[in-house]
Amino acid sequence: MKSRSSIITLLFGVIPMMVAFSAVAAEPEPIDANAAIKLARSSSCLRCHGVNKKKEGPSYKVIAAFYANNKDAEDVLIEHVTTGPKVKFTDGHKESHKSLADKNPEQIRNLIRWILAQ
Ligand code: HEC
């Protein structure tokens, strides 16, 4: 029976292939930790943020935990580090948050994804 075998081909051949391809397509770019740290350093982010240690700003671990279930985290934080919003410091004073020195969108996203992976 020709039609039956073509359904079987579809079920066991084409559909798994589509699933496999979509899984590959959904795989995010790997994070380049070295580039992220270099950019954080050259933009003096690490002066106020430790990976584990609280400085003037919260540690990147604390930030990552806070945004763990937020699907908009990347976009929210990219905006945070590019638009200089007013932030409150522990002593109560407010100032514009530092923006990144490098404006390359891929480098910025890479840094934010690295922060969120801490
Ligand atoms: C002068 C100190 C200082 C520098 C420099 C600084 N930050 Fe911050 N950052 C802070 C403070 C303080 C907060 C907390 C703001 C708040 O809780 O409202 C913060 C918050 C953040 C957050 C969390 C924002 C949120 O919405 O929860 C991220 C991400 C961040 N900083 C990344 C960076 C990056 C990347 C750089 C380098 C461009 C940087 N920071 C440089 C002080 C600093």
Contact indicator for 82, 108 with CB cutoff of 8 Å = yes
Q: What is the pLDDT of residue 36?
A: 97
C-beta separation of 74 from 113 below 8 A? yes
How far is it, in rounded angstroms, from Cα 20 to Cα 18? 5
Distance 26 CA to ligand 1 centre (A): 30
Residue 1 CA to ligand 1 centre (angstroms): 66
pLDDT at site 11? 75
Which residue, judged by its Cα, is nearest atom 15 of ligand 1? 87
Q: Which mutation among 51, 97, 112 tests ligand 1's pocket best, with the greatest number of atoms within 8 A of CB? A: 97
Which atom of ligand 1 lies at the shortest distance from residue 88's CA? 18
Q: Both ends of the chain: CA-CA distance in Å?
A: 56
Successive 10-residue mean pLDDT values, the chain, 118 residues: 73 74 73 97 97 96 98 98 95 96 94 98
CA of 44 to the centre of ligand 1 (A): 11
